[in-house]
Amino acid sequence: MQQPIHVEELKSREVFPGHHARFIHGDHMTIAYWRIDKGATVPEHSHPHEQVVNVLSGNYELTVAGKPLSLEAGMVVVVPGGVRHSGRAITDAALLDVFHPVREDYR
């Protein structure tokens, strides 16, 4: 991939309804830039990948292992591999997620 990468030039994918992602894959990590529509939800799920959620803007409710966390810009949550989690956008929101290992399912 040509560097530097311009995130806005990457193709966006609607991975869950109202959850639009642009992905960057390294050798060991995947970066996901999310644009999320107010009210959109992600059903509870888990994956073996460690995930770190960084809130860039908006308000987002992330429920991790059954515990709801109300997030806004400047907040971060570490979701260990295998832990169930779900999400809901309280407002339009922008998140930056990082995963290890690479999300082969998102290539």
Which residues make up the interface to its own copies (CB under 8 A)?
A: 1, 3-8, 24, 26-29, 31, 50, 52, 54, 56, 62, 64, 69, 71, 74-78, 80-81, 96, 98, 100
Residue 107 C-beta: closest distance to its own copies, Å: 14
Instruction: Find the angle CA(81)-CA(87)-CA(89) to the nearest 5 degrees.
Output: 145
Q: 38 or 56, CB closer to its own copies?
A: 56
Distance CA 64, CA 29 (A): 21
Residue 37 C-beta: closest distance to its own copies, Å: 20
Q: What residues contact 96, with CB distance under 8 A and at least 6 apart? A: 31, 32, 33, 34, 54, 56
Residue 50 C-beta: closest distance to its own copies, Å: 5
Distance CA 50, CA 64 (A): 13
Question: By the 8 A CB rule, do 91 and 55 touch?
Answer: no
Residue 39 C-beta: closest distance to its own copies, Å: 21
Q: 44 or 56, CB closer to its own copies?
A: 56
